[in-house]
Structure formats: C-alpha cells, structure tokens
Amino acid sequence: MQHLLFPNRLTSLDGESPDILQGPKDAVAASTYSSSLQKAISALPESLLELFLNLPENPPPEQAFLLHSLLSALDPTMAARWHWRDTRKVVRSLEIIKEKGCLASEVMAQQTELVETPR
C-alpha cells in the first residue's frame, strides 16, 4: 500500500552491499559507510555485529528485541519510530543501512524532501 501511495519513497534491495558485509570489524574502515556509521558499527558488541552481518529474512519472535537493540545502536531516530515488536519495519531499516551505507533516517529525510519539493 505504501508503495502505491509513495512510489518514490522505497529503496530497493539491489544486491549491492558495502564491503563491511564481507568481513568482520576490520572491514569497516575500508567500507563506503559514513564515518559516524563506521564508528557505530565498530562499537557494536560481537553478537550484534554478527546479527547485522547476517540479518534474518523472517526473524523468529525471540529475536525481535535484539534486532531493535541493533537498530537503536545504529540509527536511534528510526528505532524511536518503530515498536520493538514490529520486526518487519526494524529489519527493513537495517537492510537499508546495509544496502545504502547510510542511516535509514537519512534516506527517509532525503526522500521526504524530494516528495515535498514542488516541481
């Protein structure tokens, strides 16, 4: 429904991922992530980093709070938007971070600017 109402506000998963997705914390410095995001990823505990590197497509309910904790560590603005049990939105926000190399809240702000700008 959101895609029909806001066709230019969705990011696609095109399979392109920054270099960090291929290795551990050492790859963060060589990635295409912003410096603030690199610091946030480097500061993640090992369990959250592992979860970030291997995001589940259909997470079990017991992972919901852990996924929200991961989003809170990386993008507190988006984490504040979603309830911790709304795993679909939480996981999508994390996928955007992995795919685009920037915060999901930044992507949403840019898309909102484009939609609101008169043409």
Q: Cα–Cα distance between 96 and 11 in angstroms, integer?
A: 7
Q: Cα–Cα distance between 85 and 36 in angstroms, integer?
A: 27
DSSP letter, residue 86: -
**109 within domain boundaries:** yes
> Which residues constitute the domain of residue 87?
13-116
Per-residue pLDDT of 64-87, as tens digits, reads: 999 999 999 999 999 999 999 999
Expressed in angstroms, the distance from the first to the final Cα of the chain is 24
**5 within domain boundaries:** no
Per DSSP, the residues of 10-45 read -----S---GGGGSSGGGGTTSSS-HHHHHHHHTS-
Number of independent structural domains in the chain: 1
Per-residue pLDDT of 28-63, as tens digits, reads: 544 688 888 999 999 999 999 999 999 999 999 999
Most confidently predicted of 9-13, 32-36, 62-66, 108-112: 62-66
| CATH code for position 21 | 1.10.20.140
Q: What is the pTM of this model?
A: 0.72
